[in-house]
Amino acid sequence: VSDLGRTGPRSGLRITGAHHLGRTVDVRAVDGVIVALGPDLPEVVGDRVLDARGLALLPGLVNGHTHAAMTLLRSFGDDLHLMPWLEERIWPAEARLTDDDVYWATRLAALEMIRSGTVHFVDMYWHATAVGRAAADAGLRATVSQVLIDGGPRAETPRVDALEASASASLDALSDLGPLVTPSLGPHAVYTVSPRSLERLGRLAEDRRVAVHIHVSETSAEVEDCVAATGLRPPELLDRHGLLGPRTVAAHCCWLDDEELDLLATRGVTAVTNPVSNLKLAAGTFPWERAARAGVAVALGTDGTASNNALDLLADTKVLALVHKAASGDPTVLPAEEAWRTATGAASPLLGGARVEVGAPADLVLVDTDRPEMVPGPLLENLVYAASGSVVDSVVVAGAVVMEHGHVEGAAEVLAEVRARAERIRDGA
Ligand SMILES: [Zn+2]
């Protein structure tokens, strides 16, 4: 369809009567971008209208680290140590997954994230093309990577060429999935990828100018093993192979010393903390205050639903604030506004963080402020300390309404598909 011959302005989305920063405003979005914001905007014939009277307008949340399709393994193998949990429960079940399993499990994750106000998630998983297709079909933004492993630093013959070829093919496939999907590389961790492959993937990331999503220093054992196998701590090893930069998403980062935090800050890495996963697996605690002093960009993630076990990033925002108050013995640490900034990705130049202003992507949530837990009091403090994701009424991603007053298109089909598939995966059939 050509723009030639169009007579009127292009149609878009009009959000009417929302509360924003103490006033009542309308928002107009065209082609996924906010083009007007203010009181009583003139109506445009052909616009879709979202009635937001009584709702608060906010930027959407950004889930900086997850494995969305693990919804199929939700609450599977709880209450185990990290390595037996991975080796005895998760990895054998994952080996049974098909493209379609991953597609529907990611649709379920997208449904849960949309309902709790997430507009963008950063994912690493098997069958990544199916993850990307599911995100695009759900209307959610996603930075998607295929998990890359080759046996790790102790493998005698790591599959270096095959790994690089599959990484490259995955980037190609993910590039075809439309504007909501951003391809990235997902070397799993320093204990599952050999230094030779890390070097290749560092070069590939540079050539293709894509983000690198990797688990870094999640447990103390991981750090000790890395030193024993390579003579280097994980951040040094990654830096040596060009894998620490402004397009790096480093998940967890629980066991970093001050020098390593300085290195992450200097390289412009985004560290993604996953407080609920770290608490559940007793993996460690992100060094919030030391990271802040070093100037590290920090975002918030849920991790997968086998280690959280939900994708409600707003609920995790409260945990983030509470964990670091408790750990520091200081209730003034991580105030609500800082927790909210972290949860919306605003503290990470890479993840961008949605802004409610003309020219910004129309990635917005509308919150029901008539919910009992939202009354009375200031909005941000209530969102962080009183609310969970269930206060979200409507969600807009790239100017498209993906939840309207609690309704998400296709939800029943998604639930049925995942229920039917979960039994086979979990029982080993
Ligand atoms: Zn993870």
pLDDT tens-digit map of 300-328: 999 999 889 999 999 999 999 999 999 99
User: How far is Cα 88 from Cα 86, in angstroms, rounded to an integer?
Assistant: 6
Tens digit of each residue's pLDDT (9 = 90 or more) over 190-241: 999 999 999 999 999 999 999 999 999 999 999 999 999 999 999 999 999 9
User: Rounded distance, CA 417 to CA 336, Å?
Assistant: 38
How far apart are the CA of 62 and the centre of ligand 1, in A?
15
Give the three-class secondary structure for 235. Answer: helix
DSSP H or E run through 19: strand 13-20
Residue-level pLDDT at 349: 95
For ligand 1, the distance from its centroid to the CA atom of residue 59, given in whole angstroms, is: 25
Compute the distance from residue 303 Cα to the ligand 1 centre, in Å: 5
27 Cα: distance to centroid of ligand 1 (angstroms): 36
Mean pLDDT of 97-124: 98
Q: Please count the residues of the chain.
A: 429
Euclidean distance between CA atoms 211 and 62, whole angstroms: 16
Ligand 1 centroid distance, CA of 186 (Å): 11
Going by C-alpha positions, the residue among 82, 222, 210, 52 that lies closest to residue 153 is 222
Q: Which two tokens stand for residue 182?
A: 């951003």
pLDDT of amino acid 8? 54
DSSP state of 40: T
Decide: helix, strand or coil at residue 372: helix
3-state secondary structure of 345: coil
Distance 106 CA to ligand 1 centre (A): 15
CA of 26 to the centre of ligand 1 (A): 39
73 DSSP assignment: G
Dist. CA 232 → ligand 1 center (Å): 22
DSSP three-state, residue 186: strand
Cα–ligand 1 centroid distance for 305 (angstroms): 10
188 CA to centre of ligand 1 in angstroms: 8
pLDDT computed for residue 3 by the predictor:
44
Hunting for tokens 């493998």 — which residue is that? 155
Kindly give the distance from the C-alpha atom of residue 366 to the centroid of ligand 1, in angstroms, as a whole number: 29
β strands within 87-175, DSSP E: 118-125, 141-148
Residue 143 C-alpha to ligand 1 middle, in angstroms? 14
- How many angstroms separate the alpha carbon of residue 219 from the centre of ligand 1? 12
Residue pair 317/342 in contact by the 8 Å Cβ criterion: yes
Residue 428: pLDDT over 80: no
> Are residues 70 and 102 in contact, defined by beta-carbon separation less than 8 angstroms?
no
Between helix 160-175 and helix 195-208 the angle, nearest 10°, is 30
CA-CA-CA-CA torsion sign (195, 198, 200, 202): negative
* Helix or strand holding residue 281 (H, E): none
Mean pLDDT of 37-55: 95
- Rounded CA-CA distance 154/157 in Å is 9
Q: Say what the pLDDT of residue 1 is.
A: 38
Question: pLDDT band at 2, cuts 50/70/90?
Answer: very low
d(CA 5, CA 192): 57
DSSP symbols for 199-229: HHHHHHHHHHT-EEEEEES-SHHHHHHHHHH
Q: How far is the CA of 300 from the centre of ligand 1 (A)?
A: 12
pLDDT digits (tens, 9 = 90+) for 127-150: 999 999 999 999 999 999 999 999
β-bridge mates for residue 20, sequence order? 23
Using the mean position of ligand 1's atoms as its centre, give its distance from the Cα of residue 302 in Å. 9
Residue 292 CA, ligand 1 centroid: distance in Å = 22
